[in-house]
Amino acid sequence: MSIDIRPATTTDIEGVLTIINRYAEENLMLPRTAAQIQRVLSRFLVAEADGQIVGCGSLVELTPRLVELRSLAVVPELRGTGLGRQLVEALVAQAREIGYEQLCALTLNEGFFNRLGFPTVDRWDLSPKIWHECIYCPKLAACDEIPVLMNLTEGEIALDTRTGQDDRVRRIADCGLRIADCHLPFARQ
């Protein structure tokens, strides 16, 4: 079976919803609507085999530097075949190409993401995510998802050319976060 990973089109929305909402019925993913998929369709990838959508995943911008990998799913029949890994790798490449510095995800399968280079982080390291959508989630009070975060900029620490300071301070300010809210080695509490 030949599988093609490609950008999603409007004709793929039903197939994407079928996969995602099948897992949502098992409480393994959050349900999505056609309108939600349509809003981020330009950043959705699908895996297609024999004219059927067999996998999907998307990028959702949280800040100009941080993007979330969301709605990653593969039909049950193809789990364990490496298709999920291929989708993640394609989404990582897309995020790098666009110019994002970090890629995060909330997952129930921490080990899968860890093996792909996403270390587990503290939930509060993803503050923009918490305020972006989590506050509306029915699972907020008892969230069982595990946050993971990949640096896309090869881990280099850039210095601000004007001040000589670690550039992460400026990037935090650009995200609208307070340094005291962050868990970085240079942050003073």
Contact 96, 152 (CB under 8 A): yes
Q: What is the pLDDT of residues 94-148, one digit of tens each?
A: 999 999 999 999 888 889 999 999 999 887 777 655 555 655 556 655 666 788 9
Which positions ≥6 away from 6 have C-beta within 8 Å?
45, 46, 48
Output the domain CATH number for residue 115.
Answer: 3.40.630.30
More confident residue, 126 or 72: 72
Q: Give dist(CA 37, CA 18) in Å, integer.
A: 12
Whether residue 98 is found in the same domain as residue 173? no
Contact 71, 34 (CB under 8 A): no
Whether residue 150 is found in the same domain as residue 162? no
Whether residue 88 is found in the same domain as residue 171? no
Whether residue 62 is found in the same domain as residue 91? yes
More confident residue, 132 or 183: 132
3-class secondary structure for the chain?
CCEEEEECCHHHHHHHHHHHHHHHHCCCCCCCCHHHHHHCHHHEEEEEECCEEEEEEEEEECCCCEEEEEEEEECHHHCCCCHHHHHHHHHHHHHHHHCCCEEEEEECCHHHHHHCCCCECCHHHHHHHHHHCHHHCCCHHHCCCEEEEEECCCCCCCECCCCCCEHHHHHHHHCCCCHHHCCCCCCCC
Whether residue 152 is found in the same domain as residue 165? no
The whole-number average pLDDT for the span 61-90 is 94
Give the pLDDT of residue 187: 34
Q: What residue numbers bound the domain in which 179 lies? A: 157-189
Give the pLDDT of residue 134: 59
Of 92, 23, 16, 108, the closest CA to residue 54 belongs to 16
Q: How confident is the model at residue 151 (pLDDT cuts 50, 70, 90)?
A: very high
Q: How confident is the model at residue 15 (pLDDT cuts 50, 70, 90)?
A: very high
Of 111, 92, 108, the closest CA to residue 153 belongs to 92
Give the pLDDT of residue 173: 40
Whether residue 147 is found in the same domain as residue 162? no
pTM as predicted: 0.76
Residue 65 has pLDDT above 80, yes or no: yes
Whether residue 109 is found in the same domain as residue 137? yes
Whether residue 40 is found in the same domain as residue 115? yes
Report the domain count for the chain: 2
